[in-house]
A and B are shown apart, each in its own frame.
Chain A
Amino acid sequence: MTDPVLDIRGLSKNFGALTTSNNITLDLHPGEIHALIGPNGAGKSTLIKQITGELPPDSGSVHFNGHDVTHLPTAARARLGMGRTFQISSLAMDYTVLQNVTLGALGAQGGVFRFFRPAMQDKTLLHAARHALEQVGLEAFQNTRTSELSHGQRRQLEVAIALTLSPSAFLMDEPMAGLGVEGSHRLMGFLDGLRHKAPILLVEHDMDAVFKLADRISVLVYGEIIATGSVDEIRQNSRVQSAYLGEETLT
């Protein structure tokens, strides 16, 4: 088996007496979608923040692309190729859609401290930006102010920005949330193909999507991974059923 792109070992985090991550071990291999599910309050956000570098873990390590990134800041992890979409859209709301994506291309290309030539006339940046917009199907909205986009379009834009970074792995925090049936289907089709470009660690509430897309699923409950396995293994896992899936109907 190939080396994992993302390799998390023994990650733990406590807030006082509250353990939000307990000895978490998780990896992501090239070409796969690895879904992370768990009930609300299971510690998914805390885990994501430790992977992206917003929150330092108490112990354990995060390796990415062969580098130990445990102590690197968020920006450095992004530069190593960690492409991320946020649970709540995190965009420059006063900018146009194209400006937001160009921003991603600029972040990836570097050379931010140039003061004279107009960024929005830079052909290489624009080319990368438009290409990403086409991939998510937002090219018709490139001159729309981002604050005027619908919820679903903002999610697409998040993905487009992540694409401009040509990341070696995606970290997607509930990309389907609030998308509606049609939007979800569209995005699912897109993510399905995306996994061959770069693997995806997918945090998602939409079980349909998870079961259709995921190669592997990990279940997080009370800060602990109680099971990792294929879709069928997870469906049949009794611990998972009693701890988590009892709350939702599994069909």
Chain B
Amino acid sequence: MSLILFIEQALNGLQFGIMLFLMASGLTLVFGVMGLINLAHGSLYMIGAFAAAAAAAATGSFLLALAASVIFAAFAGVLIEIIVIRRLYARDHLDQVLATFALILIFSEGTRWVFGSFPLFLDRPDWLAGTVSLPFGIEYSLYRLAIILTGLVIAAGLFWMIARTRIGIRIRAGENDREMIGALGVNISLLYTFVFALGAGLAGFAGALIGAIQSVQVGMGEPVLILAFVVIVIGGIGSIKGALVGAILVGLTDTLGRTLLPMFFGLFMDASSATSIGASLASMSIYILMAGVLLFRPKGLFGVA
């Protein structure tokens, strides 16, 4: 395979990984600080995408669409945090799983009820259309490159926020000792709502960015959610750094696996069985990666043992 194709696929993998990071960082923060497993995180991703599609249809502006995705998803996050989620912090994981599974049912059918079952489309703006020339003569999609850069900026912002700001100190305190932050006089319920809304906003933003590549439809969130779970299992729950490393690993493995495995089997098989076996194995590759990590590090790469 040519080097150019390889680099192009690697960039696609990176872009996919960055998307997963936007989902996984919220999940891992919410778990690290509040001890909550949130299955409805995928619904927030979907809400972001639908909000963006609706805003773009109404205003024609892509930037407004992105803003709408963050605002609506964060708002939905605040709403469910206050009505449902905060009753679950003291519950066991089973209750959390069930209640957030119930939220998925409500959000998915609610969205279907409002927008119908047909996919919506969110067009990427003219100023991000086309390709950009990279070194080695690679032509790469400007939009995907923009996603990578935006994601890296957000990741840097998150690291800065957690390491340097007052709110970051509180988040870290909450991860270490939930009772201590109460003793510090921090308004815990406000902190929790903020962290949840932050995660929701990031998920919504990811939904909008991806909505412009794929279609916007009910049920789009859960496959991404499950991949984000794989990411944080690999990275270690509660660790933002783990989420970033895990996301990029999963993104690269998935994307490169889909290209490389069929080619690999093509070396010693006929084309059609190589394609099918390669594709089947590629679809399993990230789970095999996860199983491999678990064998050696049951708490993930950056998890606290």
Asked whether the complex places CB atoms of A and B closer than 8 A, the reply is: no
